[in-house]
């Protein structure tokens, strides 16, 4: 039978015992599960719990909704007693796909070489909401790279109390860093008048590719730094670096480098004195400070490496990013018989709701995007 394939976004649900929408809240979504001619794919974003996947499968099967499949992120790990094998599974990375689609449509340029003379670090911090951002900025500001790095810091006064809790830095030191580094380093803002996605962080904006031409290394403060058995994933922070053909040191979860290496990416480890630096504990300000010298010598090693060797690795990573995206697109289209009906119904911490046509998930349904 030829089904109408619907994709629904399931997001941020972590409690497998409660929290499902009930009654009328579910009406417009549940109708798709009930129709005999439809096949519903439940898509889970990159930081969803793997227990969340099991919970939704159980929910659907308890209601005898058998025409279902799941679309899970490449970094999500199966629980030992998972129920995933009972339904079709497609592996994707919605962050990667969303970013690549946005940049392709907007004809975003990327870096074309690694210069031999700059020897500077690019540290795009974003919001300082974890130990690998403001504390790292503090260490950069008073360390061996104090005059050789560029950063960005997006700040508002509400963040002070939060920052004092997360970073263990004094109020005066936080204020000093904010006054010194607040704002976008290049004042670049990629925008799109025809779409609400214009400044959305999943697309890796607002950073201009010329920034990467002025630096020899990206120091990436990934979203998560603590170990999790449920997922190990990268975000737009890493992908925009690879897209811009830049070498990187990633401050992220233990196992991040193995995760990327397994996917075919070069993490520059053969150039590093501390190649397994992702096993260092940086989950608190104290642990970060303790291990910082090893991060510094790794940064120095890449900066001092032969730029031709580094550039070849960057080009291979860029090519792998494009190829992996195409592989994921193909997997989705084949699984759905090239018959995707996109409704973008979403379940997250705001409940069910229909999202606009120009929303980023799922990124493979390009015909409904309203870009310039």
Same-domain pairing of 307 and 356: no
81 located within any domain = yes
Residue 307 lies in a domain: yes
If one counts every other C-beta atom within 10 angstroms of the C-beta of residue 77, the result is 14
* Residue 105 vs residue 259, higher pLDDT: 259
The more confidently predicted of residues 3 and 48 is: 3
The predicted model gives 104-124 an average pLDDT of 80
Residue 329 lies in a domain: no
| pLDDT band of 231, cuts 50, 70, 90 | confident
Q: Is residue 203 part of a domain?
A: yes
Between 169 and 220, the higher pLDDT residue: 220
Assigned domain for 309 exists = yes
Give the CATH number, domain containing residue 250. 3.40.50
Is the pLDDT reported for residue 201 higher than 60? Answer: no
Whether 196 shows a pLDDT value over 60: the answer reads: no
Asked if 236 and 265 sit in the same domain, the reply is yes
* Rounded (10°) CA dihedral 136, 311, 96, 110: 100
Note the pLDDT of residue 365: 56
- Domain carrying residue 361: 4-92+336-368
46 neighbors 233 (Cβ within 8 angstroms): yes
What residues contact 356, with CB distance under 8 A and at least 6 apart?
Answer: 196, 344
Q: How many CA atoms lie within 13 A of 193 on its CB side?
A: 0
Whether 349 shows a pLDDT value over 60: the answer reads no
Closest alpha carbon to 253 in 284, 287, 282, 290:
282
State pLDDT tens for residues 354-364.
555 555 555 66
Q: In Å, how far from its chain's centre is CA 149?
A: 23
Tell me the C-alpha distance between 363 and 290, whole Å: 41
DSSP class of 180: H
Residue 285 has pLDDT above 50, yes or no: yes
Do 214 and 300 have their domain in common?
A: yes
Structure tokens at 342: 């996109």
Residue 186 has pLDDT above 80, yes or no: no
Confidence of residue 190 (pLDDT cuts 50, 70, 90): very low
| 244 and 292 inside one domain | yes
**Nearest-angstrom CA–CA distance, 310 and 307:** 5
Taking a C-beta distance cutoff of 8 angstroms, is the pair 265, 317 a contact? yes
Q: Is the pLDDT of residue 226 over 70?
A: yes
Distance CA 127, CA 185 (A): 14
Q: What is the rounded radius of gyration, in angstroms, for the C-alpha atoms of the chain?
A: 22
Q: How far apart are CA 150 and CA 16, in angstroms?
A: 43
Do 251 and 299 lie in a common domain?
yes
How many other β-carbons are positioned within 10 Å of the β-carbon of residue 361? 22
Residues with Cβ within 8 Å of 11's Cβ and at least 6 positions away in sequence, in order, are 44, 45, 48, 346, 347, 348, 349
Q: Quick one: 130 and 172 in the same domain? A: yes
Mean of all residue pLDDT scores within the chain: 81
Give the pLDDT band (50/70/90) at residue 194.
very low
pLDDT in tens, 150-174: 988 877 777 777 777 778 888 899 8
Verify that 48 and 138 share a domain, yes or no. no
Q: Are residues 46 and 136 in the same domain?
A: no
Confidence of residue 347 (pLDDT cuts 50, 70, 90): low
328 inside domain: no
- Does residue 283 lie within any of the structural domains? yes
Range in 23-32, 95-104, 206-215, 264-273 with the lowest mean pLDDT: 23-32
Instruction: State the angle between helix axes of 236-243 and 94-105 in degrees (0 to 180), rounded to the nearest 10.
Output: 40
Task: Mark residue 245 as left, alpha or beta (left: phi above 0; alpha: psi -120 to 50; beta: remaining).
Answer: left
Contact 48, 76 (CB under 8 A): yes
pLDDT tens track for 13-36: 544 444 454 444 456 677 888 888
Query: What global pTM score does this model have?
Result: 0.89
Residue 66 and residue 150 in one domain: no
Whether 128 maps to a domain, the answer reads yes
Give the residue, 73 or 17, on which the prediction is more confident: 73
Residues 105 and 82 grouped into a single domain: no
Structure tokens that stand for 115 in this block: 């210069």
DSSP category for residue 171: H
Please tell me the total count of domains within the chain: 2
Measured N-to-C along each axis, helices 236-243 and 307-335 cross at an angle, to the nearest 10 degrees, of: 120
- Inter-residue contact 249 to 298 (CB < 8 Å): yes
């Amino acid at each position: 039978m030829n089904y109408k394939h619907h994709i629904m976004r399931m997001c941020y649900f972590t409690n497998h015992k409660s929290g499902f929408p009930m009654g009328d809240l579910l009406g417009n979504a549940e109708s798709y599960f009930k129709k005999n001619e439809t096949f519903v794919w439940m898509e889970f974003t990159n930081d969803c719990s793997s227990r969340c996947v099991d919970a939704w499968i159980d929910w659907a099967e308890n209601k005898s909704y058998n025409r279902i499949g799941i679309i899970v992120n490449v970094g999500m790990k199966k629980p030992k007693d998972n129920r995933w094998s009972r339904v079709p599974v497609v592996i994707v990375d919605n962050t990667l796909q969303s970013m690549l689609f946005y940049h392709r449509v907007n004809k975003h340029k990327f870096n074309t070489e690694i210069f031999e003379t700059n020897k500077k670090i690019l540290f795009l911090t974003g919001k300082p909401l974890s130990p690998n951002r403001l504390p790292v900025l503090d260490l950069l500001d008073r360390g061996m790279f104090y005059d050789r790095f560029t950063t960005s810091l997006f700040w508002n006064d509400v963040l002070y109390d939060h920052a004092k809790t997360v970073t263990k830095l004094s109020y005066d030191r936080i204020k000093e860093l904010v006054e010194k580094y607040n704002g976008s380093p290049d004042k670049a803002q990629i925008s799109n008048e025809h779409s609400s996605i214009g400044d959305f962080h999943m697309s890796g904006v607002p950073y201009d590719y010329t920034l990467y031409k002025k630096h020899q290394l990206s120091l990436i403060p990934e979203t998560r730094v603590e170990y999790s058995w449920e997922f190990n994933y990268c975000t737009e922070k890493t992908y925009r670096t690879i897209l811009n053909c830049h070498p990187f040191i990633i401050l992220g979860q233990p196992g991040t480098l193995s995760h990327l290496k397994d996917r075919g990416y070069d993490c520059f480890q053969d150039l590093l004195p501390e190649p397994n630096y992702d096993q260092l504990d940086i989950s608190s300000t104290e642990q970060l400070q303790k291990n910082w010298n090893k991060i510094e010598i790794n940064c120095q090693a890449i900066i001092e490496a032969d730029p031709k060797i580094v550039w070849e690795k960057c080009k291979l990573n860029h090519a792998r990013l494009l190829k992996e995206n195409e592989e994921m697109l193909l997997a989705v289209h084949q699984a759905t018989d090239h018959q995707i009906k996109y409704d973008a119904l979403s379940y997250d911490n705001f409940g069910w709701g229909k999202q606009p046509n120009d929303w980023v998930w799922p990124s493979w349904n390009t015909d409904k995007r309203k870009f310039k």
